[in-house]
Structure 1
């Protein structure tokens, strides 16, 4: 491929939260970084609801004005939508971020730190330190010591590095719109119905500013397709006023969600994977923002060590298999949830949530303090998990 040539320490493929986090941390440590993303505008083509859990809010300095009101209340519904179970935490548990502006702010932070950002640029492939990309300036050969795959659940970088790839995927779809009036108590509404969300949940998050109405599940088990299922759900979704059920302006989101747990092989001597590309998503809740930030910290520490010492074997410690063992319980619950294929079974299982044991288990999942596991030597590799976001401004 003819065209221009770029030389850099690290090529990051994907300018989502994970890729921008790695790029910022490495650039702050003095390494040259090039970040590419196929989008020309990072505020478009959003795929995530943007739910930040309390642990993330505690540990990372996210821009306050880009976060919605705090949510303490979760309401769980059976397929009938009648007689739900309501759980209320004593602490602020969730906030929904404005993901487009957060990505844009993260990109500015990366550029300020010294990274080069190339938007509208597609990754074509490569190996052995040479990676071909194409964008507004035409074809470019990027010569990099390492490549970082932050390119989503179906990562092409993972293929080129011969690393593990996600095989257990849900497909999700969501509508987002401005609500007509504020609410007294923002809530996270979850519907357990295999017709609506086969193997997962339908959700409504109304924080008084925006409403997110979504569903996700195994694609082969949606009888009418995920989009038509979402449209039907929106007509009866809980937590909305009648005025909000037919909004004039709707933002559509969607995409694959890896739920097979953190992949085992996520690094090679030539690079590594972060975010969805690494399967850094909770197998049970499908929450990915907290894992993506924490795994990106580990990735940046490993790359920094390899670049400083000149020893590629430093990436061996970036081991998905060691971390994956911490997800055993959640993987088992993911398997159990996948087996619920009939609304009668979902209704029967829902009755457990009405018992003291069921409510306690639900509170532990929804309000617990567990987070993405620390690697065995995390104390020596990263000591300030919030550092890379302190400079995110808008």
Structure 2
């Protein structure tokens, strides 16, 4: 892809090394960096991992909207697998098959996808620094000074639910979490590979679900639950797979390869998302659905909007990016209300009793197929 010729920017001086430094090279950070780089800005991305595909904390499942409206749809075919249906399991392990005409999900070779994103950053002229963690920053006139990096006009925190950028810049911090763990079974095949298998049940997944999915390299199996910092416990994924694995078509006696685990924001956007040329995006900003915990599409859109806003501010004297970051963050009002209800009133018997009824099917289709956006 040919890069645009860089024009002098509004009030541009020579004292800044970068127009924006993005901390974190996952979906939101990559989107922000790419959007800015495409407008000719000088962009640096700091990623603490030496390999962007290691130690992941995402399922990597991409919804149709993200596949068709973002650069993620350009990922190599070898990195994605199309799935067109959902199989929803009640606590009794009875299931309901769900689908919507034309709707699909893409499971991914997630480590491969993150490495591909890193390649895209460098192809677009981004200074990607792997193995470089954000340590500190000092506010200066019209920007930030970062040790070992230099001066930047804007600092973008895309560094996850426990954002160091948020703490250093006195921005809002994520308070409400799910805790998830996921196994990868390389080379394995589900008995029913063309569905996303989702398990509801308070015993193993209070506040969320368990899941099985076929991806390009094998099977991914996960479990998440509401995180209570006063009584924290890890999801018992081994017991869950013994209970639900056969129903979901998981072959017996598999040994997991890669294991992923981490906190997932579920409370909606943080209260103070931006100030003083520091902006949060993605998990750091709480841009994750409180109901489904899906964050790739919304994180990409928000990161992209912020990257474009920085470029518009510097090149065209556009509105403050801090203002755009706030305006383009999804509110999730209805989903936050559903999250509260699920946390306080989750019971197994309604799912068992109502699984095959029209109201439950309708509600599940709204959640999984984004019929209300």
TM-score (normalizing by structure 2): 0.86
Question: C-alpha distance in 2, partners of 1:219/1:184?
Answer: 31
Contact 2:144 2:155 in 1 (8 A): no
Among 149, 171, 174, the alignment partner of 1:163 is: 171
Question: C-alpha distance in 1, partners of 2:68/2:271?
Answer: 28
Please say if 1:76 is aligned against 2:88: yes
Deviation at 1:66, TM superposition (A): 4.1
Q: Deviations over 1:47-104 (max 9, x none)?
A: 11111111111212331424443212212222232x2222133324211122212111
2:11 aligns to what?
none
- Distance verdict in 2 for CA 1:250–1:261, change over 3 Å: same
2:5 aligns to what?
none
How many residues align structurally?
A: 353
- Unaligned stretches of 5+ in structure 2? 1-14
Please say if 1:36 is aligned against 2:41: no
1:365 aligns to what?
367
Please say if 1:313 is aligned against 2:320: yes
Contact 2:28 2:303 in 1 (8 A): yes
Please say if 1:114 is aligned against 2:116: no
2:58 aligns to what?
48
Contact 2:34 2:304 in 1 (8 A): no
Contact 2:61 2:105 in 1 (8 A): yes
Among 14, 22, 29, the alignment partner of 2:24 is: 14
* SS of residue matched to 1:339: helix
Q: How does 1:282-297 map to 2 (within 5 A)?
A: 282-297=289-304
More displaced, 118-127 or 352-361? Answer: 352-361
- Distance verdict in 2 for CA 1:181–1:313, change over 3 Å: closer
TM-score (normalizing by structure 1): 0.82
1:88 aligns to what?
99
Among 241, 251, 260, the alignment partner of 1:253 is: 260
1:278 aligns to what?
285
Contact 2:157 2:281 in 1 (8 A): yes
1:347 aligns to what?
349
Q: RMSD in angstroms over aligned alpha carbons?
A: 2.5
Question: C-alpha distance in 2, partners of 1:208/1:146?
Answer: 37
More displaced, 147-156 or 5-14? Answer: 5-14
Please say if 1:299 is aligned against 2:306: yes
2:243 aligns to what?
236
* SS of residue matched to 1:21: helix
Question: C-alpha distance in 2, partners of 1:309/1:208?
Answer: 43
Question: C-alpha distance in 1, partners of 2:30/2:53?
Answer: 14
- Unaligned stretches of 5+ in structure 1? 134-139, 372-394
Question: C-alpha distance in 1, partners of 2:176/2:358?
Answer: 32
